[in-house]
Amino acid sequence: MRSPIPHKHARIEIIPLIDIMFFLLASFMMVSLSQVHMKGIKVNLPSQSQAQQTPPLKDYTSVRVTASGETYFDNVLVLDSDVLPRLMQLHQGNADIKVSISADAQAMHGDVMTLLDRVRLAQITKIGYQIKTAAPHP
C-alpha cells in the first residue's frame, strides 16, 4: 500500500554553494595580500661598467730589507731611489694601506731605520713588523 504523503526527492542546490566558495576565496586572497609587507634594505648594486673601472684597492704590502741593503716590495726589487716615491704612490692609492716591514737576520739596523723613516715620510701610519724568534742555542 502506498503512503498518502507524496515522496519528494532531496536536492542539493550547488549554485549558492559555488557563490559562497568564490566569496570566501576572494576574501582570503584580499586578506593575505594586505598582510604581505616587503621589508628589506635598499642596496645600490654596481653596474658592470663600474665594476670594471674601479680596480680593487691594495690594502697591504710587504717590504723587506736584505743583508746587502736592497729593498723588496712584495718580493720585487725596488731601487733605493725609488723606495720613497713607491711608498707615496701606495699611500695615494689607499690612505689606509698597511705596510709590513721585515729584514734579513744580517741586515743592518740603520737600513731598517731608514726604511721606517721613509714609510713615515710617506704618511703611512699602519706599520707592522715581521719578527722571527731566534733559534735556541744548544
Return the percentage of the chain with pLDDT > 70, whole number.
86
Q: How confident is the model at residue 52 (pLDDT cuts 50, 70, 90)?
A: low
- Report whether 86 contacts 73 (CB < 8 A): yes
Q: How confident is the model at residue 58 (pLDDT cuts 50, 70, 90)?
A: confident
Domain residues for 69?
Answer: 55-129
Q: How many of the other CB atoms lie within 10 Å of CB of 99?
A: 22
**Is residue 75 a part of any domain in this protein?**
yes
Q: How many of the other CB atoms lie within 10 Å of CB of 71?
A: 22
Instruction: Give backbone dihedrals phi and psi of 109, rounded to 5 degrees, phi first.
Output: -60, -40
Domain count, the chain: 1
Q: Name the pTM for this structure.
A: 0.56
**Is residue 107 a part of any domain in this protein?**
yes
